[in-house]
């Protein structure tokens, strides 16, 4: 499958990400904070950067 850049929240995002990962998609995920990223436990690698 391809790669998808996902801009999502903590409601619909985690189940959608899990479904896409199960189908072989590679996902780059953007969330608003580190605490929001905790809703995505199946994402293996994190690279965090914050605009100041």
pTM, rounded to two decimals? 0.70
Q: Is 17 exposed, middle or buried (0-12, 13-18, 19+ CB in 10 A)?
A: buried
The residues spanned by each domain of the chain are: 3-37
For the chain, the C-alpha Rg in angstroms (whole number) is 11
What confidence score (pLDDT) does residue 3 get?
87
Helix or strand holding residue 14 (H, E): helix 13-22
**Over the stretch 1-52, which tens digit does the pLDDT of each residue have?**
788 888 887 788 889 888 988 899 988 888 888 788 888 876 765 555 544 4
Q: What is the DSSP letter of 30?
A: E
From the list 32, 1, 3, the residue with the least C-alpha distance to 13 is 32
């Amino acid at each position: 499958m391809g790669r998808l850049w996902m801009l999502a929240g903590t409601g619909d995002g985690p189940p959608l990400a899990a479904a896409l990962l199960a189908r072989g998609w590679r996902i780059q995920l953007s969330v608003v904070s580190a605490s929001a990223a905790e809703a995505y436990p199946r994402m293996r690698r994190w690279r965090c950067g914050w605009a100041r």
